[in-house]
């Protein structure tokens, strides 16, 4: 009997709600949105899906207080703002989303369940939610999508199945992502990774999706489901999630066994280590800026 709270009923929230309703492990989905209008619409739509597919998952509109009884909460709202950034697009949400995430986090003070953060910039928002709420487990999705995109792109480049590629993208879910090329293997063998080609694809992919269908949704929703099944102990294995690392939150590979994570950092060559250091500095600076600016801490 696993209950999941879903905060935000936009593109990502809708896709996560659909996957949860179709899942075989979730018993209840509680949905909340800003004005409640989108949550109410999503609940009605999912109820239709439930009836048609014979899903046993209960779906209902809920308050944040009710959600504190859930096993896990997915946080994917987006404050109203127009993102005009051409570079560092995710970080452009910092000023708008930080007050929203802070308000939500205050409602979850003392919450003992798992929190999966989706709202961007996800590494900063994960740390912010954890700091304000005091929750023990706040993990962000993003690097797991980046890693999946990396393995897919490299596999296509080499003409091999993606399942034969072992490799991670860590660090910031953004422009300071670290492609761990030096530890990547294909069928157990080291390979020459076309880093610039991969980096270009990692940044062009979300843009291609947004241009075609408005917003990215299915990939992040899949990444969220993967995070949930790992933290809830439904699946064992490795997932690259934004987690505490040297005092900040950054995407790192976590190895989950029965819901317990251990850090499973790959070896890094000097340029990868320098890039990770730059990512660390960037998200720390962003966190310090936004918390001082808004007197959040």
Ligand X SMILES: NC(=O)c1ccc[n+]([C@@H]2O[C@H](COP(=O)([O-])OP(=O)(O)OC[C@H]3O[C@@H](n4cnc5c(N)ncnc54)[C@H](O)[C@@H]3O)[C@@H](O)[C@H]2O)c1
Question: Is 2 an interacting residue with respect to ligand X (CB under 6 A)?
Answer: no
Which C-beta is closer to ligand X: that of 191 or that of 209? Answer: 209
Q: How many CA atoms lie within 13 A of 218 on its CB side?
A: 6
Are the C-beta atoms of 5 and 72 separated by less than 8 Å? yes
Are the C-beta atoms of 218 and 205 separated by less than 8 Å? no
Question: Is 9 an interacting residue with respect to ligand X (CB under 6 A)?
Answer: yes
Which C-beta is closer to ligand X: that of 186 or that of 245? Answer: 245
Which C-beta is closer to ligand X: that of 59 or that of 186? Answer: 59
Query: Given candidates 12, 30, 138, 165, which one binds ligand X under the rule CB under 6 A?
Result: 12
Structure tokens at 106: 């205050």
Question: Is 171 an interacting residue with respect to ligand X (CB under 6 A)?
Answer: no
CB atoms < 10 A from the CB of 294, how many? 13
Which C-beta is closer to ligand X: that of 35 or that of 189? Answer: 35
d(CA 57, CA 10): 20
Provide the angle, in degrees to the nearest 10, between the axes of the packed helices 11-22 and 37-53.
Answer: 30
CB atoms < 10 A from the CB of 264, how many? 14
Query: Given candidates 18, 55, 133, 216, which one binds ligand X under the rule CB under 6 A?
Result: 216
Which C-beta is closer to ligand X: that of 23 or that of 216? Answer: 216
Which C-beta is closer to ligand X: that of 28 or that of 38? Answer: 38
Question: Is 179 an interacting residue with respect to ligand X (CB under 6 A)?
Answer: no
Query: Given candidates 19, 34, 175, 277, which one binds ligand X under the rule CB under 6 A?
Result: 34
d(CA 60, CA 42): 9
260-289: which residues touch ligand X (CB under 6 A)?
none
60-119: which residues touch ligand X (CB under 6 A)?
76-78, 93, 97, 100, 118-119
Quick one: which of 210, 221, 173 has its CA closest to 9? 221
Backbone Cα Rg of the chain: 19
Residues that bind ligand X (CB under 6 A): 7-13, 32-34, 38, 76-78, 93, 97, 100, 118-120, 122, 141-142, 145, 173, 215-216, 220, 223
């Amino acid at each position: 009997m696993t209950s999941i709270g879903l905060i935000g009923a936009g593109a990502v929230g809708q896709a996560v709600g659909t996957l949860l309703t179709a899942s075989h492990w979730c018993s209840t989905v509680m949905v909340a949105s800003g004005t409640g209008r989108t949550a109410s619409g999503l609940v009605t739509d999912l109820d239709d899906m439930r009836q048609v597919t014979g899903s046993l998952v209960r779906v209902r509109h809920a308050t944040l207080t009710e959600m504190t009884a859930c096993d896990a909460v997915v946080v994917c709202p987006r404050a109203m703002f127009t993102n005009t950034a051409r570079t560092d697009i995710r970080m452009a949400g910092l000023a708008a989303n930080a007050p929203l995430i802070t308000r939500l986090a205050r409602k979850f003070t003392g919450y003992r369940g798992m929190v999966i953060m989706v709202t961007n910039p996800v590494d900063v928002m994960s740390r912010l939610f954890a700091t304000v709420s005091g929750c023990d487990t706040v993990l962000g999705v993003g690097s797991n999508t980046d890693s999946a995109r990396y393995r897919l792109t490299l596999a296509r480049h080499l003409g091999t199945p993606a399942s034969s590629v072992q490799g991670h993208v860590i660090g910031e879910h953004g422009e300071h992502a670290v492609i761990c090329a030096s530890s990547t293997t294909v069928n157990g063998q080291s390979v020459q990774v076309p880093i610039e080609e991969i980096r270009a694809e990692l940044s062009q992919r979300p843009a291609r999706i947004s241009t075609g269908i408005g917003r990215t949704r299915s990939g992040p929703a899949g990444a969220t489901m993967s995070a949930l099944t790992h933290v809830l102990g439904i699946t064992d294995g490795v997932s690259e999630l934004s987690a505490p690392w040297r005092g900040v939150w950054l995407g790192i590979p976590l190895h989950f066994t029965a819901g317990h994570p251990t850090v499973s950092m790959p070896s890094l060559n000097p340029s990868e280590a320098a890039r990770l250091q730059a990512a660390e500095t960037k998200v720390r600076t962003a966190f310090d800026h936004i918390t001082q600016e808004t007197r959040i801490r």
